[in-house]
Amino acid sequence: MKISCIAIDDEPLAVKKISAYIQKTPFLELVAECRSAFEAMEIINNRAVQVIFIDINMPDLSGLEFVKSLTNKPYIVFTTAYSEYAVEGFLVDAADYLLKPITYSSFLKAANKVKNLIDLTASSQKESIRATASHLFVKSDYKLLRIELDDIKFIESQHEYIKVHLINSAPVVTQLSMKTIEEQLPPDRFMRVHRSFIVSLKKISVIERNRIVFDGKVYIPVSDQYKEKFQEYIDGNFV
């Protein structure tokens, strides 16, 4: 599966170059190219993005300010013409730093570095979860917990962790990615409806203004990326 990316730069030629590099790289997928951090916000709120290639020095909202504002932070690769920004970039846990003018070889080196980080994380996380047809075993607070699939209402992303919301007990927090747990859940019973939410389809009873409502107080948005698939489910099951 390809790694989803967006390119952000206020300079048209610069963002086109990074976009072209992404499209040229077999294991990367270009989700969008953006001319500002504000434009990227809308994309990130609606799409699952794994890597951001972003210019540091942009008007209105700099790349550094934008990255600091993110709660569920993807891997970050900063691009800039100013080498003095390198230290600042790594202070916000950037995966890598590219100095303009950017060659494809330097871009590919950074892309491979990010790929290795993603592969290592996925490998370690798979050791923290076990699944059967009826339940999951996940690590939480140094304990191995059994979670019945029938007890799950929805799953929420919280940066490097996920929170599994249950019917009759407190939520379980575990250090897993949404992608990792999504791969372990039966697709006929669970659906991702937003980059930050997976819902149990059997637990859906109220849908209001393109939002799923749980317990009359929790509103889960259905983002554009997942709207068509979710509507197909609704059309086939809500009569």
Instruction: State the CATH number of the domain containing residue 173.
Output: 2.40.50.1020
- Measured between alpha carbons, how far is 114 from 82 in angstroms, rounded to an integer? 22
In CATH, what number is assigned to the domain containing residue 93? 3.40.50.2300
Whole-prediction pTM: 0.69
Out of 88, 109, 125, pick the residue that ends a domain: 125
* 7 and 109 together in one domain: yes
How high is the pLDDT of residue 167?
Answer: 92
Up-side HSE of residue 238: CA atoms within 13 Å toward CB? 13
What length is written for the chain? 239
Question: Does 232 lie in the same domain as 160?
Answer: yes
Q: Does 178 lie in the same domain as 84? A: no
Is the same domain home to 23 and 94? yes
Q: Which domain holds residue 115?
A: 3-125
Q: Which helix (H) or strand (E) holds 67?
A: helix 63-69
Predicted confidence band at 72 (pLDDT cuts at 50, 70, 90)?
A: confident
Which one is predicted more confidently, 105 or 41? 105
Same domain (yes/no): 149, 178: yes
H/E run at residue 111: helix 104-126
Region 188-195: what's the mean pLDDT? 94
**C-beta separation of 172 from 147 below 8 A:** yes
Strand runs (DSSP E) across the chain, as ranges? 3-8, 28-34, 51-55, 75-80, 96-99, 129-131, 135-140, 143-148, 152-158, 161-166, 172-174, 190-194, 197-200, 206-208, 211-214, 218-221
Q: Cα(first)–Cα(last) distance of the chain, in Å? A: 35
Residues 164 and 114 in one domain: no
136 and 207 belong to one structural domain:
yes
Domain boundary pick from 125, 154, 169: 125
Count: domains in the chain: 2
Same domain? For 204 and 144 the reply is yes
Are 102 and 134 contained in the same domain?
no
Query: Would you give the distance in Å from CA 237 to the centre of its chain?
Result: 28
User: How large a percentage of the chain has pLDDT more than 90?
Assistant: 54
For residue range 151-182, list pLDDT tens digits in order. Answer: 999 999 987 789 999 998 899 999 888 888 99
Q: Which residues contact 53 (CB under 8 A, 6 or more apart)?
A: 5, 6, 7, 8, 18, 22, 77, 79, 98
